Amino acid sequence: MINPNKIIVKADLHSHLLEKKTNPKKYWESALKQGLDVIAITEHVEYNPGKAFEILNSIKPENIILIPGMELNTSAGHVLCFGANENIYSLKELVEVGVPIEKAIEIAKQNNLLLSLSHPWGYAKDSAGYRLGRQKMNHLIEQGFVGVEAFNGILGYLSYYIFDSGFIKVPIKVFDFVEKNKILKRTPLKSVSLKMRNKMLKTREKFVINCAMAIELGQKARFVTAGSDAHSADRIGVGQIRLRVGKKIETASEFLIALKQKQNIIWTGPDLIEEKPGVYHKMKQTIKKKELLQGLKYVAMQTKNVLSITRNLSKLKARFKKKKTKDFFAFL
């Protein structure tokens, strides 16, 4: 039985301010609009995380908790770091780029900080899954000093985008056309189309698997986090963790203690609104073109598939132009 007296705390534990020069007022407007009770500012160590905290803290609305945090750049890739107060920004060895993960853990233990692997299966260059390999990462998680970001708003949103967007529907339409058209299906284009479709499906699958693997990894971890990884105000809150706690949480320290108790977690993922018990709908934040391009770059970097798809598509286009079948691409 759910205790009706319990309180639900909505938190976004991954956000940036200085990297893309987000307006701090808009940052707070957005956080309030999303109904967040807690937000962590986790600026990259390369972009002065202490300053980001200071700016936000100086104009912080009253009824929201700001967790001092940063996104470390360790030997295991990006790692989120949370503390009860701004003393975390004076830990010089911790904010060094390339700090060995073992050292980061030692410092975290001494200073009572929480560490959580950001996007464990995100970009190859900054994610633990790729930097350490599965076995070492699992070992690190099982030791229990590092948590896992079970949901990252950028990856989660791109996964939606790649599954259910115009961007994916356009090439699929082309493939359908080529494979079903009476004349075209007898030409070598059909096998090109099938090959490309296959590559694209694999890319989509990989994306979803990467998101699922982070959730799975979170099950092994002693504690998990979730956040939007917002680099602009309007993306704040698109990734959330919700806790159900016994008493009102009033400080960063209280929140971090509650976060460490996994049984408090009732949700990690995108921001869903519960219309009535059990009926959810998704928030409709739009993604910016820039973010979409970043996402495409990500997919291409991971699998090189999208690049080859785009290349093949333009080859296909060129071939058709030569044959003067102009209307073929008219629907694109």
The residues binding Zn ion (CB under 5 A) are 71, 78, 118, 229
The residue length of the chain stands at 332
Q: Helix count (H) and strand count (E) of the chain?
A: 11, 11
**Nearest-approach distance from CB 149 to Zn ion, in angstroms:** 9
Which of residues 118 and 268 has its CB atom nearest to Zn ion in the complex? 118
**Nearest-approach distance from CB 240 to Zn ion, in angstroms:** 15
Which of residues 120 and 171 has its CB atom nearest to Zn ion in the complex? 120
| Residues 6 or more apart whose Cβ sits within 8 Å of residue 176 | none
Q: Which amino acid is at 69?
A: G
Which of residues 30 and 118 has its CB atom nearest to Zn ion in the complex? 118
Which of residues 225 and 305 has its CB atom nearest to Zn ion in the complex? 225
Could you give the CA distance from residue 193 to residue 175 in angstroms, rounded to a whole number?
5
Which of residues 197 and 231 has its CB atom nearest to Zn ion in the complex? 231
- Helix (H), strand (E) at residue 39: strand 38-41
**Nearest-approach distance from CB 236 to Zn ion, in angstroms:** 13
Q: What are the Cα distances from residue 96, in Å, to 46, 71, 80?
A: 9, 11, 14
Q: Identify which of 263, 295, 30, 36 has the alpha carbon closest to the alpha carbon of residue 160.
A: 295
**Nearest-approach distance from CB 99 to Zn ion, in angstroms:** 15
Residue, CB closest to Zn ion: 78
**Nearest-approach distance from CB 263 to Zn ion, in angstroms:** 27
Q: Following CA atoms 124, 27, 223, 4 in sequence, which dihedral angle do they give, to the nearest 10 degrees?
A: -140
